[in-house]
């Protein structure tokens, strides 16, 4: 029987990611894994990633849409770390993954540090230098994407890779109205506007800053922030081509 600890959980989940294997939820074996402990697991896994040469480049929010929370059975948004190893270079196909799913996101690049508590969507947007469209590929280390909030937080919110689109604009447009069509192999499979992301992606950014402040942390200048899937995540089969077409933020494609 595994003697669970923060260090052991981080090691096991990172090893599963590296090996491309999935497992049952940690909470089934470690009932003491609560949300606070899960963020400590995530932080320890980040420490391991940095110690092998990865660079911290930002954060991602997950489960910022009610529809996705209901589908995944998790009742809160989650935060996780982004490193440079998660950037999918343009034109590269997906690396081997366990069960990849793609979701379109509105992406911010911060021009200045953003530190909670008390950050509102309006003050959050003042820290943004550029807004992009992106595609995040999520890949849970739990079989069948079955997990509790604490499980997925420990698993860095199913992070694997993401691609930011080629069009970056200064903040100013109403992002709640920014629309996205999600296509798989040329057929539209879903659509949404930025309103799906907590009413406005600026709200997600404020939530990230305020949640980080609860942990004594801030969002740093230059960081990338993925604000959460606008639509449900679609499975990416080998050879499939997923495209996200945004109204003002251009198009992003990923091939499986
Ligand atoms: O980026 C995301 O929305 C992922 C959140 C974690 C849960 C999941 O795997 O959907
Ligand atoms: Mg996401």
- Residue 13: how many CA atoms within 13 Å on its side-chain side? 34
Overall CATH class of domain 6-255: alpha beta
- Closest ligand, as measured to the CA of 104: 2
Q: For residue 26, what are its two tokens?
A: 């940690």
What are the sequence ranges of the domains in the chain?
A: 6-255
**Ligand 1, atom nearest to 105 Cα:** 1
92 φψ region: left (φ > 0), alpha (ψ -120 to 50), beta (else) = beta
pLDDT tens digit string along 216-236?
Answer: 999 999 999 999 999 999 999
Q: What is the pLDDT of residue 74?
A: 87
pLDDT tens digit string along 114-167?
Answer: 999 999 999 999 999 999 999 999 999 999 999 999 999 999 999 999 999 999
This model of the complex carries an ipTM of: 0.94
Q: How many CB atoms lie within 10 A of CB 102?
A: 29
Q: Is 37 in the pocket of ligand 1 (CB under 6 A)?
A: no
Segment 166-180 mean pLDDT = 97
Q: Is there a contact between 249 and 85 (Cβ–Cβ < 8 Å)?
A: no
- Closest ligand, as measured to the CA of 153: 1
pLDDT tens digit string along 37-85?
Answer: 999 999 999 999 999 999 999 999 999 988 888 888 888 899 999 999 9
């Amino acid at each position: 029987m595994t003697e669970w600890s923060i260090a052991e959980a981080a090691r096991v989940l990172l090893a599963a990611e590296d090996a491309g294997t999935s497992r049952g939820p940690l909470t089934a074996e470690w009932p003491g894994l609560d949300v606070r402990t899960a963020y400590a697991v995530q932080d320890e896994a980040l420490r391991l990633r940095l110690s092998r040469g990865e660079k911290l480049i930002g954060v991602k929010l997950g489960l910022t849409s009610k529809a996705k929370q209901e589908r995944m059975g998790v009742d809160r948004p989650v935060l996780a770390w982004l490193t440079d190893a998660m950037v999918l270079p343009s034109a590269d196909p997906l690396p081997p993954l366990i069960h990849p799913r793609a979701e379109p996101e509105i992406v911010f690049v911060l021009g200045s540090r953003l530190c909670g508590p008390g950050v509102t969507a309006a003050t959050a947007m003042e820290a943004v230098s550029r807004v992009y469209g992106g595609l995040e590929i999520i890949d849970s280390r739990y079989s069948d994407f079955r997990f509790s909030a604490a499980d997925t937080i420990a698993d860095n919110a199913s992070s694997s890779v993401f691609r930011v689109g080629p069009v970056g604009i200064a903040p100013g447009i109403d992002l709640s109205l920014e629309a996205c069509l999600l296509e798989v192999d040329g057929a539209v499979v879903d659509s949404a506007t930025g309103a799906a992301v907590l009413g406005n992606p600026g709200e997600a950014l404020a939530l990230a800053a305020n949640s980080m402040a609860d942990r004594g942390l801030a969002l740093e200048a230059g960081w990338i922030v993925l604000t959460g899937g606008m639509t449900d995540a679609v499975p990416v089969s080998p050879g499939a081509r997923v495209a996200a077409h945004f109204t003002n933020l251009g198009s992003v494609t990923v091939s499986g």
